[in-house]
Amino acid sequence: MNPGGVLQENSMDSEEAARLYADMGVRPVINAAGAYTMLGGSALSPRVRQAMEDANRYFVEMGALLESSGRIIAGMLDCEAAYVTSGAAGALTLAAAACMTGVDAAKIERLPDTTGMKDEIIIQRCGRLKYDRCVTIPGAKLVEVGQDSATTLEDLEAAFNEKTCAVHFLATGTRPASLPLPDIIRAAHAHDVPVIVDAAGQTYPTDELRRYARAGADLVCYAGKYFDAPHSTGLLTGRRDLVEAAAMNGFVSFETNGLRTIGRPMKLDRQEIIACVVALREWFAMNHEDRLLKYGDRADVIIRELAPIPNIEARRASETGTPMPVERESVRIHFLDGSSKTAADVEKELKDGTPCIWTRASNGVLNISVAFFSDGEEQIIAERLKAALAG
């Protein structure tokens, strides 16, 4: 098990990996951006990598594998049912499809044509993110309620009608103006409407993987990369009938039930499904205190090295009160009056230099995630930051 969140390569492994990417015509990157889609999402532990290698030895009936892996995951997460998906995006798409079609084969085959179906999903305006577009892929329509500043129960109640098939709730980064989940669930269930929770990054503390279904949410969507599973995996958990309906909209159903399902492009391979289960087991067994202490040590190296530089302020993200992926420690660099550089300037310099370092600049702040460093990379990043900020 690797509490640092990344496989530590020896020098020969690193050289071979660099040659591999050079053969592909791309540069290796030091990842200071976190579990980021544009960098491949996650780093697999030795045990997860070995599980994928072992799974490659034999073929398996995919429907049976998805059913058995779902039972195992549901047992770990204390929910009725679970299904491994192609990321949280795939989970959101199949969740929406399930709420529109149930197990009705004729409806499943018609998607994304929703004529005659319940196809409206209520969403709070103050809880919008670009990722909620995923629920519209199978043909659902998002109906905004409330204002940017607040949503009231009256706003929510007014939106229910004979076309409502679900309510969407954003778990991560919820704004103070949002209606809380218990209120959403009570209102939706009074209208016999299911609630879909986008909890993509809510994997630590580990009880986050259980609490939304326990609270009464009907379908909950997670991204595998946030518990160090393969980037291409995710989880859909919750009510058995709806998870089964999601599976009927999935890629296996296309091949075995004769249904032309919307989920056919969202297929997984057997190695990924196995790896997702193994990574989840590791996540629950991991000593997260040690993991976070290691992240804190890395962050402190960077903060100490940057302390003498004028016109910036570097602090742990957990000390700034700024929302962040809760399972990752990071350093946030604020650029004060008098600074000759902006966050975007430094982000570009680090990316364009050698070695290539990816960070994330947003709203004038540079975020340095420390989760996926190999040993010693925090010092490399600190030196490069000092050079960029002094230049």
List the chain domain ranges: 11-32+287-390, 48-284
pLDDT at 317 over 90: no
Q: Which residue, 39, 9, 4, is CA-closest to 356? A: 39
CA distance 203 to 73: 14
The pLDDT value given to residue 177: 83
The pLDDT value given to residue 319: 61
The pLDDT value given to residue 10: 54
pLDDT at 12 over 70: no
Q: What CATH topology corresponds to 11-32+287-390?
A: Aspartate Aminotransferase, domain 1 (3.90.1150)
pLDDT at 25 over 90: yes
Give the mean pLDDT of the chain: 93
- Please indicate whether the domains covering 11-32+287-390 and 48-284 agree at the CATH topology level: no
The pLDDT value given to residue 328: 57
CA distance 224 to 233: 5
pLDDT at 4 over 70: no
pLDDT at 326 over 50: no
pLDDT at 238 over 80: yes
Residues 6+ apart with CB under 8 A from 264: 251, 254
The pLDDT value given to residue 11: 52
CA distance 27 to 355: 9
pLDDT at 14 over 90: no
Query: Helix 87-101 to helix 240-248 angle, to the nearest 10 degrees?
Result: 100
CA distance 84 to 66: 7
pLDDT band at 7 (very low <50, low <70, confident <90, very high): very low
Check residues 329 and 258 and name the one with the higher pLDDT: 258
pLDDT band at 325 (very low <50, low <70, confident <90, very high): very low
Check residues 350 and 10 and name the one with the higher pLDDT: 350
CA–CA–CA angle 130, 73, 42 (5° rounding): 50
The pLDDT value given to residue 176: 75
The pLDDT value given to residue 173: 54
Q: What is the pLDDT of residues 252-285, one digit of tens each?
A: 999 999 899 999 999 999 999 999 999 999 999 9
CA distance 387 to 349: 10
The pLDDT value given to residue 329: 75
CA distance 191 to 52: 44
Q: What is the pLDDT of residues 135-179, one digit of tens each?
A: 999 999 999 999 989 999 999 999 999 999 999 999 975 567 899
Average pLDDT over residues 295-309: 95
Residue 237: beta bridge partners? Answer: 82, 220
Average pLDDT over residues 225-252: 98
CA–CA–CA angle 364, 346, 130 (5° rounding): 50
pLDDT at 9 over 60: no
pLDDT at 323 over 50: no
For the chain, what percentages of helix, strand and coil (3-state, to nearest 5) are there? Answer: 45, 15, 40
Q: What is the pLDDT of residues 87-145, one digit of tens each?
A: 999 999 999 999 999 999 999 999 999 999 999 999 999 989 999 999 999 999 999 99
Torsion, CA 380, CA 386, CA 388, CA 389, rounded to 10: 150
Average pLDDT over residues 323-332: 63
The pLDDT value given to residue 324: 44
Q: Phi/psi at 142 (nearest 5 deg)?
A: -85, 135
Domain at 48-284: CATH code: 3.40.640.10
